[in-house]
Structures are given as structure tokens and as C-alpha cells.
Structure 1
């Protein structure tokens, strides 16, 4: 009967759904200012009878979570996402005189909603909330519970932030854990309505090669750190090639190391110091500790015999001290197929199983709570963090219908 209904999309109030997202975008929430958006979410969650609870993970920076209780006998589904966005530097100048000039205006241009946070990831948050509206309009009562948790501090880029402090706190919060025991989670990072049960791991390394500066006319009195750095880079690139050839993941692809920055040298003198930064991609099933050890061995090989020393730091610790862990949940979990089918029914060519070409916070849920987690939401990660950030209204509305069907099938429908 009701649990087989797939026609509820016809009941979707599209204007209200679009305004929900535009209202979310209007609440600027660059990392550190999450409270501005959380206030909006508190109103929206209360209106949906989710009994929202706010809990600060740092002073003035709250998480918010709540739950719609079912009648009993069903599973607990969690929708989770981060409330913070990256900065808007250069946005107004780039779009000056255009409808898109205000990064928080939610301008609608060519069937897309523009602005910071549209894709990453306020569309996902609003999709999950609007799906509940659709079920209510259809008069559908659930057996299982639907939980919502929206957390801060996921994005990097603002000084002293971006270390996943929000989800660190959530997964240790007794208020959350006592009230929510999710059996499956959808982290609403943008996937263009594909399903990502696997993701890459990563670490960032900042390396300083130290030699000895000297006047250029007597270079034999110095130790050339820049020359040694070239040898170190050769070793790192060789390691990257080896990593790519040694293993491949069916959804995530190959591992690699990308050197992202190098700086060193001085004015007509032997370069006494050189700095470089890199990011390493790690595959599911591989160890961050092993990858770090391999990198440090490569660096040591590069400076061998040069007289230089090196220092290294790992500034992007997340769930792991060095960075973020890779994940790959059991793909036989029926929830994955239920979600994929709902998406493909709502919009052609969606619901494809793939791997995330980014890292986000699923490991906290998978490893700490034992909760299988996928990424899924409207939005294209390729335009997020850019001056082109936007989300397709058609995709957003299809996502609402798909999420509503998935909730209905996963949680079960009562009489």
C-alpha cells in the first residue's frame, strides 16, 4: 500500500522549497559564524516538529540536531551536513552589476540558484528538510525515526578553524547519542544526486628543507637547500608514480601525491631554506600511517648526502592526527540500493554508485558510531568554493522527491 507509493512528487510545493533554500543561503555562515545559519535551522526544524537542540562545540559556535519520531518498529535514518561555508573573497567584484553580485542573495539565473553555500551544502540540508514536508503533505506516517544533525567547522580556510570540531563534539555528545542511534546516514555533500559509499583519504604535509646560506661568490661555503629540494621532489614524484601503479580502487581511483607549493631562495645568495607543501590521496583499505612513513622515507632519500636537514608538519588532522581517513562501506547494505533507485526514478541518469573525489566527515560516523554513511545531495562539487557556485533547481526538486521516497522505504510506513 502506502510504502509502495512513488507518485508523491506531484504534491511538491516547488515555490516553498526554493524559498527554503534561498533563505538558507541568505544566512551567511562562513566558518566561525555558523550560529547565523543555525538560528534559521532552529526555526525550520521547530516548524517541522523536530524538537531541535542546540549545543555549542566551541563558544558561540553551535551544532543543532533533532528528530521526527516514528510510530515504532522501523529504523533510524540520519541526515547530516555542515553549516559552514568557505569565504566569498572576490565574489562581489567578479559579479558587479549582475544579479549574482550578492553572494548571499540566492539569485535565480537560467534555472539555477546562485550564491555561496548553494551547493556546499545548503541545498543538501534543505533537500532533507523539504522531503519531510512532502511526506507530511502526502499524509505518510513513518514507523522509523528520521534524525537531523547539522554541524560546524567542516570547511578549511579560516584561521584557527576547519578541524571538524563540530562533528568531533557531536559524536561524543551524550545529548545526541542518548536520543539518536542512527542505523544509516546520508551526509549531504553535493554529488549531483549520485550515491558515494566510498571516499578518498588524505593528508597535507608542509616541509621545510634547511641548508646554509652563503654569498653567491663563494657557494662552497653554503649548503643549497633549493637544490636539495629538487632532489626531494624527484623522490616524491617517484613515490607518487609507485603509489598509482601499486593499487587502484574501483570507485576512488588511484593514490597520488600532488606538490602544491614550493618557495625558497634569496637575493644573489645560496638558498639556505626552501618550503614546500603537498597533499597525498590515500585509498580505502590503505593506512594513513603507512603513507606518511613512505613520504618521510622519500624525503630522507632526497636529502641524503646534501648536508641539509628537514622539518615536516601535518596541519590538517581530522579524524586522524595526520589527516582524514578513507572509507568504503559494505555495498550490499540494502539502503544504498534503495537510495539509488529513488534517485534514478526522480531524475534520469542519477543514483549511480560512485566514489567521492573529496574528503568529508563520514569516518566519524562510520568508525565512532558504527553507522554506515554515504554522501548524496544536489549540487556539483566542481563549482563549489568558486565564484560560480550554484545549484540546479530541477536537480534540487528531484532530490526532494527522491529523499522523501527513500525515507519512506527505509523507515517503513505505518497504517
Structure 2
């Protein structure tokens, strides 16, 4: 499905590179570490007003923490498309020390170095947010009027690095507004997580389990009087690793690979005594179609059977509920759907070697659309998830600009145009 011969060259010619870069670099300059989304939302309000979007709304999902959304109404007769992304970023701990004395020292200065823009949020995901808004501006500059509606929603609380945050409170609020009819339901959604302009119609699910094992302390000279929590944890981990191998052997998803679990933490011990308490943490990767409840029950059964001592207490906690009380569900739509193929083709035309159809090796918020609302959704945007959350977060300038052209072409083709 090649891009229309007349449209993409027209859009490339109309693109104001410096204006598009200024939009993106200004976005990075608005620090929005989780909890401080309002700082960036104020910037987005200004940009959305300048685009003349209708129904511009800011609404707090928690005190002092707003979402923002608006739309461009089409002439009528076309489909409704949503671009959505999260406004918060992870912290910048250690960034300034890592880049001290260089032009990258300020994580919010957005310098252009070696053909890329650097900074916290450059890829995750202010390139995607900026590219989506710049795409509509590009259509306006090229004199292209849409038949369908293009809407934008930018929500907070997606990242999970700050205490007491990161439970998708922002998108829960926005999805609730769709459910009650306050916001019109889109026909298709593009969540602008960084994909290097690939299209991800599938993503993994996950849950985190914190396991507390409590035995009985005893003086080291008479260990038979105690119940060793560390020994019990060793048995549990051995069984969990066997279980992970069994999970991985079940199936291999063509886009997101195999499921597994990873033990991510272990703490325990006693002072010259049998250790009474031990805690361990794990994360489980789920594939589309796997039940989160079933997977969690398997973990609990595996641990209890491995310890098998009624005098040792085992407790399970699930601290990372997202669209499910225990965690985040996996999601998948038809990779051969017309919208998926169309977006893939537009990105491939916008930049050589891009536009592949792949799977997301991360969890983000499309399951709220796919699983809860029944709305098809994908991830697609400039940026590389592999350098996000690190001191090396950056996005290639040409990839960002290609993303603008690709998004603009997709908007025109998906929503339709009028003379």
C-alpha cells in the first residue's frame, strides 16, 4: 500500500523543519517528571490553541495533575483518529553528573548533538507527541483539509519511577470520559511510544509479585529450633526458575516472543541466627491471550509447593496494578488490519528501512483501548525505547521529521480529505 504519489512530496516540501524542531525541543524543556505533568500540559495547551483545535479541555485526574485533550473536526464523512501519549517522564538522577562539562549536561536543554536531539523525554515520548501535533500543522500548511476528525489526548502517570505514582491514573480518567460519552470514541488510536517508526499491533503484559517468607529465628548454635526463611526462599526460587522454563516452552508469539519470569530482588538474613524473614520480587512477562489471574495463581502454587512447610508463612503482594488489579494485560490486534498496513506503508515511505510491523517489548497503555474499550490501537513514533530511561536518551532529527510526514500522510489517508 504505497503512499499516494502526490501527497508525500507535497508534505515534505511544506514541512518547516526549524518550526517542527522548536516544538519538540520546547517540549523537552518543560520538565515533567511523574507528578509534575502540569508543567508540560501548560505548554501543550499553548500549542493546541495555536493549532485552533476545538474542545480544548484540561481536567485533573489527581489534584494538580491534569490531562489535556482536543480535536480537529473534519468536514464530515471520514473516520475518527486519536493520537495519545503520556506527558510524564522518568527522573534525571545522575544525568548532570554523567554529562558534566558537556553540552548535554542539562537534561532539559535539548541540544542537537551528532544529528540527534538529546534530553530527558526526548524519545519517551515527547518526540511522538510533538510529531503528532506537527503533522496536523503540516497538513494545514499544505492546504489539506480532512474529512474525518483527528483528536489528541495527552495523559499523565504512565511512568512508575516515583513513589506513590505510576498506576496509569491519567489514562484511567480519560478512558472513563470516553465511556460516559464526554469524549467521542475514536475508530483507531495511535499511542506515540517510541518505536523507531515501526508499528506495534501487539504488546506484552506483566505483573510484579513481592513475596514475603516468614519462618522462625533461632540462635545459630541450635538451628533445629528455627525455620530458615532463606532456605525456603532458595527452594522457592529454584522452583520459580523451573516454572519460567516451562512457561517459555509453551509458545512463541511471532511478534513478542516467549513468556517468562525474572526474579528481580532478594533480601533477608539474621544476625548470627537462623534468618526469620526473607523477601523476593519477580516480574512475569505475559503474551497476548494469557490470563493474568491464571499466571499469578501459577506463581503462588509454585512457591507454596516448593516450601511445603506449614510453619513457614508465605504472603504475596501485587504492587503494579494497571488495567488489571494485579498488573497490566497483554494486547493484540490483527497485524494485517488495513489501518496497521496503511500506517506501516506510510512510515516506510517517509524513511527508508522503517515501518516494520513488530511487537512491543514493553508495557504501556494500549490495553485500555484494545481490551477495555474494544478500540484497535497500535504504538508508533520516532525514538528508540532502548535508550529511553537512560543518560543516553536521544532521537535522530531526520527520524523525527520523517515521523511528522508519515503521521500527516496517515491522517490524510485514514480520515480522508476534501477539496
Give the alignment's TM-score, normalised by structure 2.
0.97
Show the counterpart of 2:164: 160
Q: Is the 8 A contact 2:229 2:275 kept in 1?
A: yes
Show the counterpart of 1:365: 369
How big is each residue's C-alpha offset from its partner over 1:308-345, in whole Å with a ceiling of 9 and x where there is no partner? 21111000000001100000112232110110000000
Show the counterpart of 1:46: 49
Show the counterpart of 1:22: 25
- Report the alpha carbon displacement of residue 307 of structure 1 after superposing the two structures with TM: 3.5
Q: Is the 8 A contact 1:3 1:412 kept in 2?
A: no
Q: Is the 8 A contact 1:240 1:256 kept in 2?
A: yes
Show the counterpart of 2:271: 267
Show the counterpart of 1:118: 122
- Report the alpha carbon displacement of residue 4 of structure 1 after superposing the two structures with TM: 5.2
Runs of 4+ residues deviating >6 angstroms: none
Tell me, yes or no, if structure 1 residue 376 matches structure 2 residue 380: yes
Q: Give the distance between the partners of 1:176 and 1:12, measured in 2 at CA.
A: 38
Show the counterpart of 2:8: 6
Q: 2:254 aligns with which of 242, 250, 256?
A: 250
- Report the alpha carbon displacement of residue 10 of structure 1 after superposing the two structures with TM: 2.0
How big is each residue's C-alpha offset from its partner over 1:329-387, in whole Å with a ceiling of 9 and x where there is no partner? 12232110110000000111111000000000001112232210000001110111111
- Report the alpha carbon displacement of residue 60 of structure 1 after superposing the two structures with TM: 0.7
Q: 1:36 aligns with which of 30, 33, 39?
A: 39
Q: Give the distance between the partners of 1:81 and 1:148, measured in 2 at CA.
A: 9
Q: Give the distance between the partners of 2:186 and 2:127, measured in 1 at CA.
A: 22
Show the counterpart of 2:63: 59
Show the counterpart of 1:209: 213
Pairwise mapping of residues 13-412 of structure 1 onto structure 2 (< 5 A)? 13-51=16-54, 52-173=56-177, 177-305=181-309, 307-412=311-416
Cα gap change, 1:214 to 1:2, in 2 (>3 Å): closer
The alignment partner of 1:355 has SS state of: strand
- Report the alpha carbon displacement of residue 6 of structure 1 after superposing the two structures with TM: 2.0
How big is each residue's C-alpha offset from its partner over 1:267-311, in whole Å with a ceiling of 9 and x where there is no partner? 221111111111000000110011001100100111113732111
How big is each residue's C-alpha offset from its partner over 1:116-164, in whole Å with a ceiling of 9 and x where there is no partner? 0000000000000000111111100000000000000000011111000
The alignment partner of 1:178 has SS state of: coil
Q: Give the distance between the partners of 2:336 and 2:229, measured in 1 at CA.
A: 52
Q: Which runs of 5+ in 1 are unaligned?
A: none
The alignment partner of 1:6 has SS state of: helix
Q: Give the distance between the partners of 1:344 and 1:208, measured in 2 at CA.
A: 49
RMSD: 1.4
State which drifts further: 197-206 or 307-316: 307-316
Q: Is the 8 A contact 1:3 1:413 kept in 2?
A: no
Q: Give the distance between the partners of 1:179 and 1:27, measured in 2 at CA.
A: 27
- Count of residue pairs brought into register by the alignment: 415
Q: Is the 8 A contact 2:335 2:357 kept in 1?
A: no
Q: Give the distance between the partners of 2:178 and 2:136, measured in 1 at CA.
A: 26
